[in-house]
Chains A and B, each alone.
Chain A
Amino acid sequence: MTSESQPADDLAPMEQAVNAISLRLHGIASRTVGTLIASEVLRLNDAVRAGAAGRISYSAQPADFAALLLASADPSNAREDT
């Protein structure tokens, strides 16, 4: 069981950055091999950036999600059987 890996030349600067940010911005010391955190941060960063592309509009807000769940309710949940 292995995780996806990032190109090595991408990891070194990111490893330095996360180590610095961890202590300076959060006051938290890392307990993990730096390249693993860097790799995970890059993986999430790239996947979410790509996934969100074209989906952020001025009228969108997080609360739309719960409203859509209610609006799209399955008919089997109605008070009377359908």
Chain B
Amino acid sequence: MSTAAEALSWPIAQVAAHLRDSTFSCEELTLAALERAQKQQPILYAFIEITAADALAQARECDREAALGRWRGPLHGILLADKDCFELEGRSMTVGSRVMDPQPGGRTATALLRLKAAGTVDLGPLNMNEMVAGPTGQNPHFGDCRNSVDPSRISGGSSSGSGTAVGAGLVFGSLGSDTGGSIRLPASMNGLFGLKPTYGRVSRSDCFPRAISLDCVGPLARSAHDCALLLEAVAGWDPQDPSSLAAPVPEYSRRLERAGAGIRIAVIATFVDYDAQVQEAFTRLVAAASARYGAAREVAFDGLGACNAMGDIISKVEAATLHGQWMRERPYRYSQAVYSRTEPGLHVPAVHYVEATTARASVLQEFLQGTMGKADVLLCPTVPVPVPTRAEADMEGSGKVFGVVARLTALTRPFSYLGLPVLTMPTGRDGNGMPMGVQLIGRPFGEARLLSVAQALATEIGWSA
């Protein structure tokens, strides 16, 4: 195996250092990644399209700039790929769907522009659940995205390719979007670190929504440090996204060592049943966290179910609003699962949608003062069950979609409603060798703390990708 091929499993900072000392060029690295991606594509279906020629052109440009001494920063020449819900000028965005007729994008999403400015190389659009909807990676139009650890199991979704491509070592990191768990689920199921930032932290301009009131764009990567590098490249207010928020953007990667110092941690009592292996791994992680940060006491979150339902109603109503015309005009271009999941949004009373959006600040305030009143970081598992097989989590079967979605998102969706930053990190592997994850939940704009804690805990539990 060439050094460039070996480097595909390295941390971003290590790859960047070797690009700088010319151990290998960005073109050599890209060729190695393309070879691996093309070999894995018929097995994993991680990509919608591998844009090899474009990627090589970008890589050569990175090498040219480097030869002139122009280094754009820590992501110069780093290979990424992103969920196919980000518009890119000249490229047709599928959103994992056949509903829209293909047409070249007229604009480029701000998040992609920021990654480009940082010097990254884009290997192509990644597979995803149709229309940003679904926790499994199942996609009847472009092929089901498979888990990078065991292709007979689900990848998680809806940022399915974003998890699988990083987990399989095809790219160093990716962007996903998260409405009710769509970054955290594929990150957890592929043994990755995935960060759903605070609502408004990262621009969603020209990112196809599921529900604009909930959607967050964030990174998936193989370490907290890699996530930090990606987040600091894309975070920040954007005039193109009126709901992005003008909070300072720290250099997250430089705060990894210190931002977690002196924090108080707590465990959320969710009253959700956890699988025994999930519980065992979670308990071990909590013990490691307690040893480092002080005893983690248990705190009640009585509103978990209500937050879940409020997030769900916002998601369904906003999705039904967006998709109504297409559902009317071309209903059979939708998969059964996505169509069925969107239908209830047509029928819930408008009053309850407005209640969910109007009460949101009050519910958040109660959470911050109550559940989070004496803690800086809260812990709870990411998924209450081990990674299911594709057959177990088939959403296209009659009547199955609502149960599958409810079970997999029970612990993720409530925090989307609260708008808080949540980072999932691995806790270990189950009896089948599949990864399990824990969510670290922070205060608004507490991403630096979460990344710092995740890096420390990964060391404590001896996690390696």
A: which residues have CB within 8 A of B? 1-4, 17-18, 21-22, 25-33, 36-37, 39-41, 43-45, 47-52, 55-56, 60-62, 64-70, 72-74, 76-79, 81
B398: Cβ under 8 A from any A Cβ:
yes
User: How many angstroms from the CA of A36 to the CA of B452 in the assembled complex?
Assistant: 44
User: How many angstroms from the CA of A51 to the CA of B312 in the assembled complex?
Assistant: 13
Contact of A31 among B247, B339, B407, B445 (CB under 8 A): B339
B419: Cβ under 8 A from any A Cβ:
yes
Interface centre among B213, B339, B444 (most CB of A within 10 A): B444
For B248, what are the chain A residues with a Cβ–Cβ distance below 8 Å?
77-79
Contact of B443 among A37, A52, A61, A73 (CB under 8 A): A73
A76 touches B448 (CB 8 A): yes
A77 touches B306 (CB 8 A): no
A21 touches B376 (CB 8 A): no
Contact of B347 among A31, A41, A67, A79 (CB under 8 A): A41
Given A28-B324, A28-B346, A55-B362, list of 12 further CB < 8 A pairs? A25-B346, A28-B331, A32-B339, A37-B340, A44-B312, A44-B313, A47-B310, A66-B245, A68-B364, A69-B200, A69-B444, A70-B245
Contact of B358 among A40, A41, A60, A79 (CB under 8 A): A60
Interface centre among A17, A32, A81 (most CB of B within 10 A): A32
Residue of B nearest to A78 (CB): B248
User: How many angstroms from the CA of A4 to the CA of B349 in the assembled complex?
Assistant: 20
For B465, what are the chain A residues with a Cβ–Cβ distance below 8 Å?
none
B344 touches A37 (CB 8 A): yes
B: which residues have CB within 8 A of A? 198-200, 213, 243, 245-248, 250, 255, 258-259, 303, 305-310, 312-313, 316, 324, 327-328, 331, 334, 336, 339-340, 343-344, 346-349, 352, 354-365, 368, 376, 388, 392-393, 398-400, 402-404, 406-407, 419, 442-449, 452
29 A-B interface contacts by CB (under 8 A): A1-B400, A1-B407, A22-B346, A28-B343, A29-B331, A31-B334, A31-B339, A32-B343, A33-B399, A37-B340, A37-B344, A47-B308, A48-B310, A51-B356, A52-B310, A52-B352, A62-B360, A64-B361, A64-B362, A66-B245, A67-B361, A68-B364, A74-B442, A74-B443, A74-B444, A76-B446, A77-B445, A77-B447, A81-B255
Q: How far is the CB of A31 from chain B (nearest CB, A)?
A: 5
For B406, what are the chain A residues with a Cβ–Cβ distance below 8 Å?
1, 3-4
A36 touches B399 (CB 8 A): yes
Interface centre among A50, A67, A81 (most CB of B within 10 A): A81
B355 touches A69 (CB 8 A): no
Q: How far is the CB of A75 from chain B (nearest CB, A)?
A: 9
Residue of A nearest to B359 (CB): A55
For B407, what are the chain A residues with a Cβ–Cβ distance below 8 Å?
1
A69 touches B343 (CB 8 A): no
Contact of B398 among A33, A77, A79 (CB under 8 A): A33
Contact of A43 among B198, B250, B309 (CB under 8 A): B309
Q: How far is the CB of B258 from chain A (nearest CB, A)?
A: 6
Contact of B199 among A1, A48, A66, A73 (CB under 8 A): A66
For A41, what are the chain B residues with a Cβ–Cβ distance below 8 Å?
344, 347-348
User: How many angstroms from the CA of A29 to the CA of B63 in the assembled complex?
Assistant: 55
B443 touches A44 (CB 8 A): no
A1 touches B393 (CB 8 A): yes
Residue of A nearest to B306 (CB): A51
Q: How far is the CB of B423 from chain A (nearest CB, A)?
A: 13
User: How many angstroms from the CA of A16 to the CA of B261 in the assembled complex?
Assistant: 58
Given A3-B402, A36-B340, A66-B243, A44–B446 Cβ distance below 8 Å?
A: no
Q: How far is the CB of B370 from chain A (nearest CB, A)?
A: 13
B376 touches A60 (CB 8 A): no
B309 touches A40 (CB 8 A): no
A77 touches B313 (CB 8 A): no
Residue of B nearest to A69 (CB): B444
B348 touches A52 (CB 8 A): no
A76 touches B340 (CB 8 A): no
For A44, what are the chain B residues with a Cβ–Cβ distance below 8 Å?
309, 312-313, 316, 344, 348, 352
